[in-house]
Each structure stands twice: as C-alpha cells, then as structure tokens.
Structure 1
Amino acid sequence: MRILHTADWHLGQELHGFDRGAEHDRFLVWLLDTLDEDAIDALVVAGDVYDTVNPPVAAQQRLYRFLNTALARRPGLDIVIVGGNHDGPSRLELPAPLLDRSRISIFGALPRSDGRPDPARTLVPLTDEAGQVAAVVAAIAYPRPGDLPVDGGGAAALAAIYAEALAAARERFPGLPVIATGHLHVTGGDVSAESERPVMIGGEEALSPDLFPEGYAYVALGHLHRAQGLKAAMPLRYAGAPFPMSMAERSYRHSVVLVETDGCGPATHRLIPVPRPVAFLRVPETGALDPEAALAAVAALDIAPPESPDLRPYLEVVVAIDAPVPDLRRRVAEALGDTPVRLARVRSLSRGSGGSLADGASLPPALDEIDPADVFARLHRQRFDTDPPDALARAFAELLADAHAGPDTDAGETA
C-alpha cells in the first residue's frame, strides 16, 4: 500500500486580511498530480481541513471540487479525512451522504455508541490496486470536550481508545497493517505559536507518545504545522501544513508523507516536498533595522511581478525604534510604491536598555499576537501576587480551547 499523509490545510484562512484561495488552489492541483505520479492507493488527511468551524462557501467548494477530481482521476483511490480542532464536525461531514462511502470516509468527530466513543467504528479498510483490502486506518478525529474525562483521566481514556481500535482491527482484519490518525499535541513536537491554537485533551495540552500502543504500523498526526517526526515505538509523524500559515512559519520546509506498508511491521516513509506557491519575505532577513534604513531597504526591493496578483509575495518589515512611530505602516507602504508585494505586517521592536535587540521588549502587540493565557496569568499575578494554580490554569486553557472551537452551528445538528 502507498498512502499519502497530509494535514492542516486550513481552507478558508486569511493571512493578515489577505485571502489565500489561490495558494490553496495551487497546492490542491499539485496534490492531485502527486497522487497520480506516485501511484497513491489512499489519501489520509489528519485534521484541520478548514480554518474555522463555519468555513466560507468558497472553502467548502474547494474541498468538494478536489474530492470529485481525485476520484475521477484515480478510480481506485481511498480517501480518509478526520476533523481537527479548527473543524466543525457536522460541517466537515456535510457532504458525506452525497459521496461514495466505499471510497471516501469522513469523521468529523469520534463515533459514539451508547453515549461513549466507539473505537471500532473508526476502522476504514484500504484497498490496493487489485481491489483487495491491504491495510486499515483507525480514523480517530480530534477528541472534543465531552469525549474524554478531565483531571488527568483524559490521556488514559484516549490511550484506551487507540488500544481498543488496534484490538478491533486485529480481530476484523488479521494480518493487515493498521495506521492511526491523531489530531493533538504530542510531547516533543515543535510548536508554531502564532498560528496553532492550543488544544486541551482531558485537561492536558501535550500528551506522551506512549499514548499510541505498539502494533500500529504508522501514526499520521495533524495539528502542529512543522513537518516533523517524534520518537516512539512506531513511525510517528506530523505531516505539517502545506505552506506557511503565519509569518513565523516562513522558514519551514513543507511536505506530505508517502507511507508504504508491507505486512504488519512498521511502515516505511519518505517526505515529498510541497512547492511553495507564494514567497514569504522579511526585511531584514534577521533582526531589525532603524526606521530610515528599513524604509530604504523596502524601497530598494526588486521583485518581478507574479503571474497573478493573488500570488504576490507576503512581506514583513521589522523596525527597531526608541519611541512609538504612529505612521510607520503608512510610511512603509509609501516606500513600497508599486512593488508587487502584500504588506502583511510591520513589527516595531524597542531597543530596550542595553544588550542586544533580542533582549529589548516589543511594543504593545497587535491583537492577533496576544496570547490570552499569558494575559490571564499576568492578571492573576497583578491581583494575587502569585501565578495561577495549575488546576486554575488548566481550567482556563480548557475554556480557551472551547472558545476557539466555537459553536458548530450547522442546521439540524443533534447531540
């Protein structure tokens, strides 16, 4: 079996007010070509297909077009999609009744029986070129509040779900490799703070790789945007996002993972780099410049016009200042003139009092740079002269995760 693992598409995302539809279109066309060129038998998408629980119509149309084209181009392809913390479960599953369920499986949330998660219902058989079942996916979506207990029991409960799914797969499909999906933060994973919302699972933000029992051939993870592998008893990888989801991710190397199985042992895998559809520029490359030097550097940019305005590079300008400069963004925009870039962000860094610029404090951040958990901790220290207790910090993090998820307001949704 040749399985392609990808995740964290975030269809419908905007970056500092700029629509990213053209970038998603480029990625999905490339993905379709890759499915053909590498003779892929199955595609696994490990969560955060959409950027919000109620994505714009254009984002949903983009997904449906991709699924339709993928099935037409590769008649034997199996597709497995699970929901992430950004996805609304019922919205993600919305097209399921109109799709070929023998070829496309969508799990917006953990299936339930008698009021509790039912791991056996997550199992999806995958077929090879001859149409024979040759592997199984335990399609486990992001566990939402209510799926797992809190106060330390959540990790054990999720580990039990993975163990039950593996046992059920061995009983129903003896001798076949079993692949698990997961959308969560595993300890040791490198986090992108600007674009990944913290998730709380059973009262914990990061869970041990021991969550996944030995016996899985591969674990396909989503949530962290940097493509990376983790130490575990089996291959355990984040596919990462297909392109930068924030300016902080400009240095990432984005990829999908080609997973190959042969028998029940650990799968082999290799990374397939994803071409970046749009450049991410920073002035300067590192550190910060004085205002006049920054304006001169911006004015000196020599960039060829792209084939489409939607593919203009994103630009971040970082300026070192001694005092606030209220009209700085306007001056940067004027310095750019007709240069074909999109000015995503102008960051002002104060010099601090001695030391390197990195030691200096930032000026008040923009709203999208504020960490609510940090504000909560600072307010607690201000009022009570102490850091918030662990239990209170966990409770706030769970509340924050619920607020980020938001209500899944699809019509007709039932508990």
Structure 2
Amino acid sequence: MKKKIRMKFIHTADWHLGQLFHEYDRTYEHQQFLNRLIEVIKEQKTDVLLISGDVFDLSNPSALTVRMFYTFLNRASRVSKDLQIIITAGNHDSPSRLESPQPLLESSNIHIVGTVEKKADGSINFEKLIIPLKNKEGETEALCLAIPFLRMGDYPVVAECSDPYAEGVAELYRQVTSNAVSQLEQGQSLIAMGHLYAAGAERSGNDEQERPILGNIECVTASAFPVELKYVALGHIHKAQKIGGLDHIRYCGSPIPMSFSEVNYTHQVLSFDLTGGIIQNLEAVEIPAAIPLLRVPERHKPLHEVLLAISELPDNDGDINIAPYLEAKILLEGPEPGLRHKIEMALKGKRARLAKIDVKHPALSVAGETTLITSKKLEEIKPIEIFNKVYESKYNVAVPEVLTTLFNQVYQEASHIENK
C-alpha cells in the first residue's frame, strides 16, 4: 500500500502586479505582499504554490513589474528547493507573454500555463494542462489540472445548449478530468485550477468592473467541476469564499485591497494539506495591508462635517508615500466648485492621501405619477423646465432660486442676440 505523505499547498490569485489604485503606484504594497508570501512558504514548509491567474494587471506589464514577479519566483525557489509552482493566466494576463519563459523553466519546478494548446487535429493537448505534483520522496502524489482563463475557441462547442460558454467550460473540465483519471495510479489525487466567474460568487466593489471582460456571458456553476476533483483553486473574484456551499471549491481572494469596499475585509492566501487523497487543515493565512484604507466619515455627511473630520486625522510623521488611502464621503445639496481643492487643503500635513471623493445627494421626494410626453407637448416645454429637470435628476433637490434667476437672465440675453 502506498505510504500516506502530507503535501502542503498554498492557493493564491489576483495579484494584479503593476496596478494603480486611484492613480497611486502600488509597487510598495505588492512587494510587501510578496515578502510576506515568501515567509509563509518558508514557515509552512510548502510543497506546492498555486497561482490562479491575474498575476499582472495589464497584458503588457512594465519591465519593473515583470522583474518583481521573476525575482519572487527566484526567491521562492531558493527558500524551498523542492517547491513546485503552478501558474495559470487570468483575463488580465497576456497568455502568450506569461508563458513565454516556460522553455527556460523546464528544468525547474515552475510551470506556467497561459493557453489551451490544440494539436494538429484540433483536439486539446492534455499533456500541457495536466501537471504531476510530487511529494517529498519524489513520487507523484497528485495531478494538477492547470486550466487558465478560457476565451472563445479554448473550450469545446456543445451543440444545442442554452449557454455555450458555461456548458463549454464544463465540458472542458470534464474532458481534462477524464483524461487525468485515466493516468491516475493507486493513491493519487486530482486538484484543479481555474480563473472564471462562478455562479453565486459574492463580488467586491472592484469585481463589478470584471464582468464585462467576460462579455456578459453566463457564469459557471459548481457542478461544472467533476466530483473526482479534491480541490478547485479559483481566481478572478477578489473576495475569498467557497462556491456552491462546497468547502473544496474556493476563491482565495486578492492579497491586497482592490477597492474601498474592502476597508474592513481581511486579505489572505489559503493553505491546506493533501494527505492520502484527503484535504485537511484548510485555513486562511492573513496578509496584513501594507497601506490601510480610510473612509472619512464612515457615512456621507455635509462638506463642513467632512472637513472637520479630516482636520482631526493624525499629523503626518513619516513617509507620505506609504500613508493610508482616503475616501471622502460627502453629502451635497448642489454643485460645489473646487471640492477636491478644499479637501486637499484640509489634508495638508495629515497622514492620509486623497484617493477618492464619493459624493451623494439627498433624495428628492416628488409627488405625482410618471407621464408620457407627446411631440406637441415637447415643443411647449420651456427651457427653464428642462434645466429644472436636469438639475433635479443630477442633484435630487429643487433648483435654488438664485440659479433660476441666473438661468433666466442668460436665456433672455441669448434670445435677444438670436432675434437681432
């Protein structure tokens, strides 16, 4: 009987190296995360590191960003000479660019899968997608299905189905799993990777921007992942969570904040053991925020209250370039000229950097019902009525009398010029 040997895994994804946070460079934050990940790999005596897509934020990352990534790979390999690293491409990565160094890595334990390669007959090259994972004794303990973000043409076409994407993705996982099962020997297990949007996943603020990248196509369900898979390491959604109520199908979440909606969210990587085909000790390893997020105030308040709250922030006594990011939440009843300047002036000398101004307007209660406007009625609408409607729709309050007077003056002057 094959001896049961524990293998330690770390699951991470969505690094987005090179990303700007409201125009602020994040090199410091990313480097702090990578430093912490090196510590985790060493502390946990990690055997396998799974990176499930979106290594980079841009398909054409800067030279500095690329250097940061490959320096990490070098450091990680030196920390543990037997560490196996499996990297798949996400939708932000350039598939071909990401895997281009693979020939140089063939003699190492680093595997990068950016594309779903096809053979001359159009069939999938399963050999590229199925990577053996070896235990400390050099024996294959598991097979990893390293599946990157799937674009049209990567997954099989399923005839007569209601959702070509979701069913195509499920079919690809079925085919790759079936092929891997045929290779399994006694005591070996299957795990998988993926970068996709799973049904029921709870998104953070930044994830709302990710959906259009998929072309608004349907998401996949937990049933897309065959029952033979002991663990599914997902990326794409930035909030850590399990899918379909199943502990073994997981998003690890992004390791650093991606939006102010994550101000109270603890970032992490996931750690688990694989022993004799059983997943054990699945737990989150916290990644402390290198640069905190601040919301001032917690709820939208009038400008004068916000400025007062900002004045009470701690004075800056260190490097302002690593000071907390600030989101100012302001309640306005109308236009506020020079709003950003006023906030920046209040922030002078404070330990915070203005990243975002979130403005809301008080709700306007309007009696009556919505009516349709005929062409004749449209011709009868006065310019001041249009002005009022536009202003009210934008600010949710009635137009101040002073603005109505100014508008009428401008309109009369324009009419006078037109009639000359």
Band of TM-score, shorter chain: 0.7 to 0.9
Q: Which has the larger radius of gyration?
A: 2
After TM superposition, the structure 1 = structure 2 runs for residues 2-401 of structure 1, keeping only pairs within 5 Å, are: 2-113=8-119, 114-148=121-155, 149=157, 152-174=163-185, 175-195=187-207, 196-198=209-211, 204-231=217-244, 235-266=248-279, 268-285=281-298, 287-303=299-315, 305-306=317-318, 308-354=319-365
CA distance in 2, matches of 1:227, 1:135: 24
CA shift for structure 1 position 169: 1.9
Give the Cα separation in 1 of the matches to 2:114 and 2:35.
24
The residue type paired with residue 263 of structure 2 is R
- Counting matched residue pairs gives 358
The 2-side partners of 1:253 and 1:117 are apart by: 39
Whole-angstrom CA distance in 1 between matches of 2:255 and 2:344: 29
Provide the rounded CA distance (Å) in 2 between the counterparts of 1:201 and 1:234. Answer: 26
Please tell me the residue identity of whatever aligns with 2:193.
T
The unaligned stretches of length 5 or more in structure 2 are 1-6, 367-391, 397-420
Equivalent residue letter for 2:173: Y
1:99-151 deviations in Å (ceiling 9; x for gaps) = 24440100112222233443443011112222222122100000012223496
Could you tell me whether the CA contact under 8 Å between 1:217 and 1:267 is conserved in 2? no
Task: Return the alpha-carbon distance in structure 2 between the equivalents of residues 249 and 11 of structure 1.
Answer: 18
- Aligned-partner residue type, residue 44 of structure 1: L
- TM-score scaled by structure 2? 0.80
Give the TM-score normalised by the residue count of structure 1.
0.81
Q: Indicate the larger mover: 9-18 or 291-300.
A: 291-300
CA separation in 1, counterparts of 2:182 and 2:22?
Answer: 49
Query: In structure 1, what is the Cα distance between the partners aligned to 2:184 and 2:352?
Result: 53
Specify the code of the residue in structure 1 equivalent to 2:28. A
Q: Tell me, which stretches of 5 or more residues in structure 1 are unaligned?
A: 365-415
Q: Distance in 2 between matches of 1:262 and 1:327?
A: 61
Paired with 2:230 and 2:67, the residues of 1 have a C-alpha distance of 34
Given that 1:110 and 1:142 are in contact with CA atoms closer than 8 Å, whether structure 2 keeps it comes out as no
One-letter code aligned to 2:17 = L
1:363 is displaced (CA, Å) by 6.1
Q: CA deviation at 1:202?
A: 9.1
Contact 1:122 1:139 in 2 (8 A): yes
Amino acid at match of 1:329: R
| 1:215 Cα deviation after fit | 1.0
In structure 2, distance between residues paired with 1:278 and 1:198: 27
